[in-house]
Amino acid sequence: MVLADRVCKSFGSVQVLKGISLEVPRGTVTCLIGPSGSGKSTFLRCINHLEVVNAGRLYVDGDLIGYRERNGKLYELSPKDAAAQRRDIGMVFQHFNLFPHRTVLENVIEAPILVKKKSRAEAVERAEYLLDRVGLANRADAYPAQLSGGQQQRVAIARALAMDPKLMLFDEPTSALDPELVGDVLKVMRELAASGMTMMVVTHEMGFAREVADQLVFMDGGVVVEKGDPRELLADPREERTRSFLSKLL
Ligand SMILES: Nc1ncnc2c1ncn2[C@@H]1O[C@H](COP(=O)(O)OP(=O)(O)OP(=O)(O)O)[C@@H](O)[C@H]1O
Ligand SMILES: [Mg+2]
């Protein structure tokens, strides 16, 4: 579903991603860990085409992200075509970014109606199903400020799912939450993984990574230092840098 081939990204003269290569097979979960500033968010943002890569290639479901290739040359996509690519990729952030003046239901139906041109009735039906799935069937008429952080994050997940994405990207979805609210969000993510969604998750919830991830990736300084089966990697990292990071985390 995702193929990154030596992806590089710089901001000005600072190279943040220094050749990331990674494969995420369809229907699998990849967790990304690494120190602050290692480039995890930047990498997710490149996959979602919120950032344009400077070198290397990134494919989602076979589509080259951000560029069109013609006669061996790359041409940057128009904003319209880039937006069309982004539509199939759901993204959930640390801060949920819900529309504060719209109800939960309105938050979830907005993009399907405006972007996917669904009828209101169809969008509402799908939103009600998704809100039920994230355990918030009875809060459809609430405003975001009336919900806990964990509930807001579950609305954000439902909102992303309403676009029927083929890939879901999560950037530290639970790190802004009070500890007692983390479990409900992870439960929704666990169920989503079990349903076969392809997911990439930046998280430091090692229990989740160990149980749910098919692949764990440790990034540092803009490179993939080590990747592999999460249980093996957590129990016996090959690289000293991984070992030292994990020892600080646990
Ligand atoms: N828009 C930007 N302009 C300039 N520098 C940026 C920009 N976005 C990110 N950076 C820099 O890129 C580096 C990687 O940032 P990134 O947010 O990807 O790290 P991260 O691994 O997600 O860190 P954290 O764990 O703190 O979220 C940092 O040094 C950051 O300052
Ligand atoms: Mg980040």
Strand ranges across the sheet with 55-60: 14-24, 2-11, 55-60, 63-64
| 3 state SS of 101 | coil
Whole-model pTM: value is 0.95
| 3 state SS of 212 | helix
Pairwise CA distance, residues 223 & 185, whole Å: 29
Structure tokens, 149: 């952080």
* Dihedral sign (CA 80, 162, 105, 154): negative
- Ligand 1 geometric centre to CA of 178 (Å): 24
Atom of ligand 1 nearest to the CA of 12: 4
**Pocket flag, ligand 1, residue 36 (CB < 6 Å):** yes
| Tens digits of pLDDT across the chain (250 residues) | 999 999 999 999 999 999 999 999 999 999 999 999 999 999 999 999 889 899 999 999 999 998 888 888 888 888 888 888 889 999 999 888 899 999 999 999 999 999 999 999 999 999 999 999 999 999 999 999 999 999 999 999 999 999 999 999 999 999 999 888 999 999 999 999 999 999 999 999 999 999 999 999 999 999 999 999 999 999 999 999 999 999 988 6
Distances (CA, A) of 108 to 67, 100, 204, 225: 30, 12, 27, 38
- What is the reported pLDDT for 96? 80
Cα 116 to chain centroid, rounded: 20
Query: Rg of the Cα trace of the chain?
Result: 18
* Dihedral sign (CA 95, 152, 89, 101): negative
**Pocket flag, ligand 1, residue 247 (CB < 6 Å):** no
